[in-house]
């Protein structure tokens, strides 16, 4: 008797698939890891492979997730690109590329919330402010569900 499949939180990222970004009815299975070490998935509907980082700023990056987080922390501290590249020992073009990808992703998220969900820009700003402010006061279960919601929004 085969064991049941575990819950897979990834949706198909192929725009030609009938289950593109749809949770209900999807048929996605795990299929190993890519060279960067990220989980690979296979959609049985469209016969395409996808990676867990598709649709995020981490997609097709050769840096480790830890190094990208360090760069993001330095960017939040308003350090210059050259200073970040010197202190973290990465090329300044890499930092600029990551900064550009982060900006594009933020713009995509904002456009989704404003145009598709019909929210006002100040409502989006309020949502992000409340989430940031209350994250330290949330229980571990609430943080987990918040992270799941973020992951779903990342695939937008």
Among 5-9, 31-35, 88-92, 130-134, name the one with the lowest average pLDDT: 130-134
Q: What is the pLDDT of residues 67-88, one digit of tens each?
A: 888 888 888 888 889 999 999 9
Q: In which order are the strands placed within the sheet that holds 28-33? A: 28-33, 39-43, 48-51
Which residues make Cβ contacts (< 8 Å) with residue 154, sequence separation at least 6?
55, 56, 105, 109
Query: Structure tokens of 21?
Result: 């970004």
| Domain residue extents for the chain | 1-54, 55-154
Which tokens belong to 145? 């569900």
pLDDT, tens digit (0-9, with 9 covering 90-100), for 27-80: 888 888 877 777 888 888 888 888 877 777 777 777 888 888 888 888 888 888
* Helix, strand, or coil (residue 93): helix
């Amino acid at each position: 008797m085969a064991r049941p499949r575990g819950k897979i939180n990834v949706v198909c990222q192929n725009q030609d698939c009938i289950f593109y970004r749809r949770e209900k009815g999807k048929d996605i299975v795990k299929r190993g890891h890519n060279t960067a070490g990220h989980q690979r998935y296979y959609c049985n509907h469209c016969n395409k492979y996808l990676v867990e980082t598709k649709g995020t700023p981490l997609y097709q990056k050769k840096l480790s997730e830890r190094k990208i987080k360090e760069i993001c922390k330095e960017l939040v501290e308003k350090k210059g690109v050259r200073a970040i590249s010197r202190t973290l020992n990465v090329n300044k073009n890499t930092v600029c590329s990551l900064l550009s990808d982060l900006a594009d992703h933020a713009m995509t998220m904002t456009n989704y919330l404003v145009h598709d969900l019909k929210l006002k820009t100040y409502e989006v700003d309020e949502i992000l402010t409340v989430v940031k402010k209350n994250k330290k006061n949330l229980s571990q279960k609430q943080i987990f569900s918040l992270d799941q919601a973020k992951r779903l929004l990342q695939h937008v």
